[in-house]
Amino acid sequence: MSAHTQVHDLPGATVLPAFDDTHTHLIFAALGAHDVPVHRARNIPEFFDLIRQRATVTPEGEWIRTTTNWQELNLAERRMPTAAELDTATDRHPVLVKRGGHNDVVNHYALRLAGITEETPVPPGGTIGRGADGKLDGRLIDNALHLVKHLVPARTGPSSSTDCAWPPTTTPPRALGPYATARSPPRTTRCCWPPVRPGVLSTRVRALISALGLTSAAQVEDLLDVMEEWRDNGDPWLSVWGVKFGLDGGLEAGATEEPYACDHAFSGMLIWEPDALVEAVEALVRRGWRVGTHAYGDRAVRTLLDVYARVLERNPGLPAGTLVMEHGGLASPQQQARAVALGIPVTIQQPLLHDTAEVEEGFWGPERVARLFPARGWIDLGAQVSTGSDFPVGQFGAMRSVWGMTTRQTVIGVKGPEHAITYDEALTLHTAGAARLTGEEHLRGTLTPGRLADLTVWDQDPAQCPGDALRDLNPTHTFVGGLLVTPTGTR
């Protein structure tokens, strides 16, 4: 202790390690602090009113973009808006409506800017939506997103210098020490690097740079040239530890072995051809980077394991944990066992299942939704598992995630109770297991002398918290690097 040491006398409190979130999108959330908050809308007219209000204070011709953390089933009409409807909100601005990380809807102004017509070829691994009349409806999915995305200007100036910090207009990630931001755009990472300005970060960032939209190893090589300046510089707050690929879509485009419940002619889609993905992943591992690949449906999981097996065979001696499976959502017991045999870690996101179960049942049916994120099976087979939220698609909350993993509760009831795990197991996945994923188990994840002082304080023992009360339990104090993180997300 020194003269500057603060002593907190908290009788009856419980101290736990800070919680990692190994798959989140806090940079998107930070950017969303500036976007039209359509997640507040209860119906489509309110949705459009919010866009219309923004249009009144936005110069004509400038882009209007929305937040991503909404679901169409939360709207009274229970559907997505269309390009024609967005035109009624404004036809003097290009509008980009984002929903999650795999779906956009744009108005006709944006379609014209992008040169998208009814004759535009559909990119492999993407969808250009059409209405019942065969005309463009403004919907873009997965690899089609980039037909428009490249036109939206990057934020510059003072706002972008804080994109790495928790957005001051929202609630900070209480109990969160480090996080792995799983889809960090290169241009945003550049604004944060190096050095990290003192006080900018209130959490430790382990960035996974986005390769979404890339379709060849040559494009990946170009990305890696940019990333060379981000090699680990020993900064305990901000580091880049790899690249994020997407192999299939999300809720409505995940690649499945069996057809969708809502469309027996559709089984989702793969964004990469396997041979091309092998070459792209090899480009990364040859330069010493790690890889996290989104695989949601069981066909995508099978394909990714095939890809990773080929990479491991052709590149013997790769460090453990170089190749990671993000989500592994609909992984069968056989696929789980194969991942373990190959030494592939997996990240799972229970809050994503909780919040989107109703949407997913519409696409996949209740049986497959009940099998999503089978934590019990992964643990029993000895897999290296860590956990996250997929925020802002799934809600962040340290104990919300633990509660979900122990109860398998969703917005439409309990799904797959046989996949539930214990409180102690869930706690480990969020702490020591997560630190192991990032290769920092010697620094973080447990309350051990000599390790980084990343910890949380709770006014009651979460292990003894009854029933659903655990879901909304928050710590009274969060310390990162021995410094108290305030309710505004500052140190």
DSSP 248: B
Residues 11, 457 contacting (CB under 8 angstroms) = no
Pick the more confident residue, 102 or 267: 267
Q: Is residue 5 a part of any domain in this protein? A: no
pLDDT of residue 174 exceeding 60:
no
394 and 475 co-located in one domain: yes
Same domain as 224, residue 267: yes
> Which range (38-42, 208-212, 277-281, 359-363) has the least confidence?
208-212
In a domain, 169, yes or no: yes
CATH number at residue 260: 3.20.20.140
- Lookup: tokens for 328: 């592994």
Query: For residue 445, is it within any domain?
Result: yes
What are the φ and ψ backbone dihedral angles of 292, each rounded to 5 degrees?
-120, 125
Domain assignment present for 3: no
Which whole-number Å values give the CA distances from 88 to 73, 103, 131, 140, 282, in the listed order? 22, 21, 17, 19, 48
Considering the domain architecture, whether residues 118 and 54 belong to the same structural domain is answered as yes
Q: Are residues 129 and 166 in the same domain?
A: no
320-356 per-residue burial string, b: 16 or more CB within 10 A, e: under 16: ebbbbbbbbbbbeeebbebbbeeebbbbbbbbbbbbb
Domain match, 197 and 269 both: yes
Instruction: Report pLDDT for 486.
Output: 61
111 shares its domain with 171 = no
Average pLDDT over residues 429-449: 92
> What pLDDT score does 176 carry?
54
Say how far apart CA 340 and CA 39 lie, in whole Å.
Answer: 38
Q: Strand 483-485 and strand 477-480: pairing?
A: antiparallel
**C-beta separation of 377 from 332 below 8 A:** no
Which residues partner with 14 through β-bridges?
458
**For residues 216 and 108, what is the distance between their CA atoms, to the nearest angstrom?**
30
pLDDT band (50, 70, 90) for residue 182: low
Average pLDDT over residues 273-289: 96
**For residue 334, pLDDT beyond 50:** yes
178-187, 205-214, 377-386: which is most confident: 377-386
Quick one: what percent of the chain has pLDDT higher than 90? 60
Which of 99, 122, 149 is the C-terminal boundary of a domain? 149
Please tell me the least confidently modeled range out of 29-33, 263-267, 313-317.
29-33
Same domain, 291 and 363: yes
Residue 442 domain flag: yes
Mean pLDDT value of segment 383-397 = 84
Q: Which sign does the torsion angle of CA 238, 5, 462, 431 carry? A: positive
Give the mean model confidence (pLDDT) for residues 203-207: 83
132: Cβ contacts below 8 Å, ≥ 6 apart = none
pLDDT at 24: 83
**Does 181 have pLDDT greater than 70?**
no
More confident site: 30 or 170: 30
In this predicted model, what pLDDT tens digit does every residue of 65-118 receive, in sequence order? 998 888 888 899 989 999 999 999 999 999 999 887 788 999 999 999 999 999
Q: Examine residue 179 and state whether it is found in any structural domain, yes or no.
A: yes
The answer to whether residue 29 is domain-embedded is: no
Q: Is the pLDDT of residue 169 over 50?
A: no
Of 30 and 424, the structure prediction assigns the larger pLDDT to 424
CATH of the domain at 110: 3.10.310.70
DSSP state of 36: B
Confidence (pLDDT) at 346: 97
| Range 18-41 average pLDDT | 83
pLDDT given at position 187 = 57
Last-in-domain residue among 115, 149, 183? 149
Lowest mean pLDDT among 156-170, 352-366, 457-471: 156-170
Do 217 and 138 share a structural domain? no
27 falls within a domain = no
Residues 223, 338: one domain? yes
3-class DSSP assignment, residue 44: helix
10-14 own/partner pairs: CB under 8 Å, 24+ apart: 10/457, 10/459, 10/476, 10/477, 12/459, 12/460, 13/457, 13/458, 13/459, 13/476, 14/457, 14/458, 14/460, 14/461, 14/462
**The pLDDT value given to residue 179:** 53
Is residue 175 within 8 Å of residue 398, measured between CB atoms? yes
Same domain, 68 and 173: no
Q: What is the mean pLDDT of residues 184-194?
A: 57
Number of domains in the chain: 2
pLDDT at 457: 93
Q: Tell me the three state secondary structure of residue 60.
A: coil
| Cβ–Cβ < 8 Å for 431, 21 | no
Last residue of a domain, one of 97, 127, 149: 149
Q: Check residues 241 and 336 and name the one with the higher pLDDT.
A: 336
The confidence score (pLDDT) of residue 9 equals: 82
At 172 the three-state DSSP class reads: coil
What amino acid is encoded at 371 in this protein?
R
Those residues whose C-beta lies under 8 Å from the C-beta of residue 339, and which sit 6 or more positions away, are 305, 325, 328, 331, 346, 383
pLDDT at 491: 54
Based on the domain organization, do 141 and 241 belong to the same domain?
A: no
Global pTM value? 0.83
Q: 211 or 295: which carries more pLDDT confidence?
A: 295
Say if residue 214 is in the same domain as residue 275: yes
What mean pLDDT comes out for the span 418-428?
97
Please give the residue range of the domain that contains residue 67: 35-149
pLDDT of residue 1: 61
Stronger pLDDT, 300 or 229, i.e. the higher one: 300
pLDDT at residue 488 tops 50:
no
At residue 456 the predicted structure's pLDDT band, cuts being 50, 70 and 90, is very high
3-state secondary structure 368-429: HHHCCCCHHHHHHCCCCEEECCCCCCCCCCHHHHHHHHHHCEECCEECCHHHCCCHHHHHHH
Q: What is the C-alpha separation between 63 and 93, in angstroms, rounded? A: 6
